Structure formats: C-alpha cells, structure tokens
Chains A and B, each alone.
Chain A
Amino acid sequence: MTFKVRIIPCLDVKDGRVVKGVQFVDLIDAGDPVEAAKAYDAAGADELTFLDITASSDDRRTMFDVVTRTAEACFMPLTVGGGVRTVEDIRALLVSGADKVSINTAAVNDRAFVGRAADKFGNQCIVVAIDAKRVSAAGEADRWEIFTHGGRKPTGIDAVAYAREVVALGAGEILLTSMDRDGTKSGFDLALTRAVADAVPVPVIASGGVGTLDHFVDGVAQGGATGVLAASVFHFGTFTIGEVKRHMQAAGLPIRMDGITG
C-alpha cells in the first residue's frame, strides 16, 4: 500500500493565539498560530488542525485572519473546528482557506446540519468531531456516549450509532476523541476507535491520550484509525513529527517520509 497514515498536530487557538504556546522550536512568537503552523509544515506534518476555543462568537473574525495567513504560508491540508454552528460559519472558514471544517456540538443538536453542510460544500470537507466517554460498567458490553461542553454534559447518544448516522448524512471524516483518555497520556481508547472505524466507511482520526510513540502505532494497527491527532506531545517537544514517523514506519505502518531527515 502506497497510501499513507496521517500524523496531525492540533493547535488550540483562543482569541487568535495558541493556548499554552508551542515550545518545540525557537519561534519568535510561540503564541502565533501561523508561526506554529509553518514550523509543523517544515517538520513534515501531514495535515494541521486548528481548534478555535474562543469563548465569544464576536471574536471569531480573528480566526478567519489566522486561517487566511496560514493558508498563504503553508501548502498542506488544514482543518478548522470550534464553534461551527451554521452553513455561513463553514463558508467563512473555507473562504478563508480551510480545506475541511469540523462540526461538533452543532451536529449533536441538529443532525440535519451535517446533511445541509455536506450538500452545500461536499462530503470531503465536512468532518464531524465526536467527543465520547465510556459509559458501560466493567463486565458489560462496551458502550460509549457522546458528551458535549468539553466532556461535562452527557447526551444519552450512543457514539457508534451516532457516527454511522452522521456519515450517512454526509460526513466525510470522523475526528474521534476519547474524553476518558484526553490529557492522560495513557493511549487512545482503542476499543472505541476500533468500534467506530469498523462502523463507518470514511476515515477515522484517533485523538485523546497519546503519551508514547507506541500509542501512535496502536491507534492505527489496533484501533483502525487512518490518522492520528495529538497536541501537547508535539507542542512541548516530547516527540518530533520525525520521531513519530520513524517509529511508526519501523513498526511496519505506511508513513509519508517526505521532508523527514536524519
């Protein structure tokens, strides 16, 4: 297979600034998302994701400017999510230069929104982000539920059934985050990843919990993900994109090594 697994750094952006900064290289401005994006582009990342966590929707224009400046400087795929509620929000991000837009809470509240978005802009640019938590007790059959509001608010919606539903409506990709694992560095929830990857015919990106190089391998080899997303391990320089790629390649996974030296 010459088709490659994708390694995707994710930048949380608030009011046009990278939250906590990016510390893996000496950037003139570690809080500038465009500088960070250029550094990841040069490092060989396969794709980049911006998550806008700006609280007020009045300040979202700042994000359009960030996306525009990134698309001018980085000739790689860019996904933008966070606070996407309307077809107009999607249009504004695509016009700014995003290649894909990820929808989270708005799709939970109104599934038909996914269909409207996909009809308007094409399945290929509509990503549905799913934040899921395990709700089955030990010994029970695995079950995960969608949570919103940063993992605080349960919805009663089964994550696997929901993934099937949004893909049937037109989602071209699923960004799947385990809220149990996010920030723990204990690895992806592989059973969750596998359950969703087996349930839908579109690419699934695993997110939440990466702490070791083997975790990246497991997400693909065991979880069935076609891409792996991580934030802090890249931003803090725990691993470089090159280290992750070399490790995954050594484990036998198909990896794009363009621009990876040493």
Chain B
Amino acid sequence: MSVAIVDYGSGNLHSAQKAFERMARERGLNVPVLVTADPDTVRKADRIVLPGVGAFADCKAGLIGVPGMVEALTEAVRGRGRPFLGICVGMQLMAGRGLEKEISAGLGWVPGDIDLIRPSDPSLKIPHMGWNTLNVTRDHPVLAGIPTGPDGLHAYFVHSYHLTATAGDVILADADYGTRVTAMIARDTMVGTQFHPEKSQTLGLALIGNFLEWRP
C-alpha cells in the first residue's frame, strides 16, 4: 500500500504530505505517503494525489515536463482505476480545456472547461480567497461524516478559475460566491477538490482520511 503525491514542480507539497501522513496514522492505516516525480512510483501506487498551484497552462506544462508522467497517471487512474484525488489546479487538470491566459488542453478525464469565475455581484473579489461552505449534490464516500450545507464545515479556497460547461453528474459539490462555483467533482474512481483539503482544518483532514479509506 502506498500513496503517491505527484511532484511536478508546482508548489510546496510538504504540507499535503504531512496532512496525509497524519490522517493515515489517525485512521490506523499503515501507508507510506510518497512525494514523487517518478512515473514508476506513481504507476505502482495504490492511491494517487495530483496537487497544483498557479496557472493552468503552467501546471500542464510542468506535468508534461516530467517524461512519462501523463502516461503513468493515465494508465494507473483511467486504465486500472486507482483512487485519485486532484487538488486545486490538480483537479482542474482533469478537465478537457483550461481557458486561463491561453487555451490549453487538460487530461480530458472529465468533460468541461476551466473558466473564470463570474460572480453576479461585481463587488465580490476575485480571487475567491477564503472559507466557504459546500452544497453537496449527492452522497459520496469521501464526504462521509462531514457536515456540509450552509451550516456545515468550511473549506479553504484560493482560485480565480473553476470547472464549467461540464456534465451535471460530474459536479459533487459547489460553493456560493455570487454564482455556483464548482467545489468538488467525482467520476468513477476519481475525485477532485477545487479547495485545499490540506489547508481546510477539520473538513480537509476528514476528507483526506476518507479518501485514504475509499474503496471504489
């Protein structure tokens, strides 16, 4: 058993690693959490986490820049159905296209575009930076036991773009920010969070624990 956090030069992964290690310990799971840029390690991992910070096109370029990584991810996640968690731009990369700065292709694992958030209220600030609650559209094991809805726990968001124009059943949760901001997606053995679970205190740690125990 191992968890691979994919390192492709996009930001600090130390905090994410510590959060996964802590929740593995708390859930009594004996799983090493590896931060890795090695496609073979990703291919062999039982669970895969793709983080991402910055602009979509830069992250995509970074991912392509690691020889064999896109192939290893595709084989493990789409071919062999390994549980997968995309975080922030790591979630966005699951989509068909990113429209930030320039149009660039994503991994195409879920339909849709990554487009600018357009709140109906012009006084709302972009980036959507801070704490928001989740409106969940259906049950999912990674959300088990987590209070959601307007009176539920909060998730920490930092982003200006989000998934749009997707199939309705892909969206697992949204957040209200003068429009419905896509907060979580799920399909097959994949989940994605636009927010940062490793920065979302109680909610985030519980979600990470649930992901480690998820058997899709």
In the complex, the answer to whether A173 meets B198 with C-beta atoms within 8 Å is: no
Given A5-B130, A71-B12, A124-B160, 7 more contacts at CB 8 Å?
A3-B177, A6-B131, A122-B53, A201-B125, A203-B127, A203-B130, A258-B203
How many Å from the CB of B35 to the closest CB on chain A? 12
In the complex, the answer to whether A256 meets B154 with C-beta atoms within 8 Å is: yes
Bound complex: CA A248 to CA B97 (Å): 41
In the complex, the answer to whether B129 meets A75 with C-beta atoms within 8 Å is: no
Bound complex: CA A88 to CA B125 (Å): 29
Total number of A residues with any Cβ neighbor in B under 8 Å: 36
Residues of B within 8 A of A72 (CB): 14-15, 18
How many Å from the CB of B210 to the closest CB on chain A? 15
Mark contacts of B198-216 with chain A using CB atoms, 8 A cut-off: 1 yes-contact digit, 0 otherwise: 1111111100000000000
Mark contacts of B85-107 with chain A using CB atoms, 8 A cut-off: 1 yes-contact digit, 0 otherwise: 00000000000000000000000
Chain A binding surface SS class: loop
Chain A residue at smallest Cβ distance from B134: A2
In the complex, the answer to whether A123 meets B156 with C-beta atoms within 8 Å is: no
Bound complex: CA A2 to CA B154 (Å): 9
In the complex, the answer to whether B201 meets A75 with C-beta atoms within 8 Å is: yes
Interface size on B, as a range, is: 35 or more
How many Å from the CB of B197 to the closest CB on chain A? 8
Bound complex: CA A50 to CA B115 (Å): 33
How many Å from the CB of B216 to the closest CB on chain A? 25
Bound complex: CA A6 to CA B192 (Å): 25
CB of B54 closer than 8 Å to a CB of A: yes
Mark contacts of A48-86 with chain B using CB atoms, 8 A cut-off: 1 yes-contact digit, 0 otherwise: 000000000000000000001001110111000000000
Q: Select the stretch in A91-99, A138-146, A181-189 that faces chain B.
A: A91-99
Residues of A within 8 A of B132 (CB): 2-4
Bound complex: CA A77 to CA B153 (Å): 16
Beyond A75-B201, A201-B125, A259-B201, whether A99 also contacts B14 by CB under 8 A is: no
Bound complex: CA A203 to CA B129 (Å): 8
In the complex, the answer to whether A94 meets B11 with C-beta atoms within 8 Å is: yes
Chain B residue at smallest Cβ distance from A125: B53
Candidate in A2, A6, A96, A227 with the most chain B CB atoms within 10 angstroms: A2
In the complex, the answer to whether A202 meets B12 with C-beta atoms within 8 Å is: no
Bound complex: CA A37 to CA B159 (Å): 25
Residues of A within 8 A of B196 (CB): 77
How many Å from the CB of B28 to the closest CB on chain A? 19
CB of A41 closer than 8 Å to a CB of B: yes
In the complex, the answer to whether B176 meets A2 with C-beta atoms within 8 Å is: yes
Chain A residue at smallest Cβ distance from B159: A124
Beyond A202-B125, A203-B125, whether A123 also contacts B15 by CB under 8 A is: no
Contact among B11, B15, B176 with A75 in the assembled complex (CB-CB below 8 Å)? B15
CB of B108 closer than 8 Å to a CB of A: no
CB of A236 closer than 8 Å to a CB of B: no
In the complex, the answer to whether A2 meets B175 with C-beta atoms within 8 Å is: yes
In the complex, the answer to whether A75 meets B19 with C-beta atoms within 8 Å is: yes
Bound complex: CA A73 to CA B18 (Å): 8
How many Å from the CB of B118 to the closest CB on chain A? 12
CB of A1 closer than 8 Å to a CB of B: yes
CB of B126 closer than 8 Å to a CB of A: yes
Bound complex: CA A124 to CA B88 (Å): 12
Chain A residue at smallest Cβ distance from B133: A2
Bound complex: CA A227 to CA B156 (Å): 14
Residues of A within 8 A of B15 (CB): 71-72, 75, 97
Beyond A99-B158, A256-B154, A258-B201, whether A46 also contacts B125 by CB under 8 A is: no
In the complex, the answer to whether A258 meets B130 with C-beta atoms within 8 Å is: no
Residues of B within 8 A of A99 (CB): 158, 199
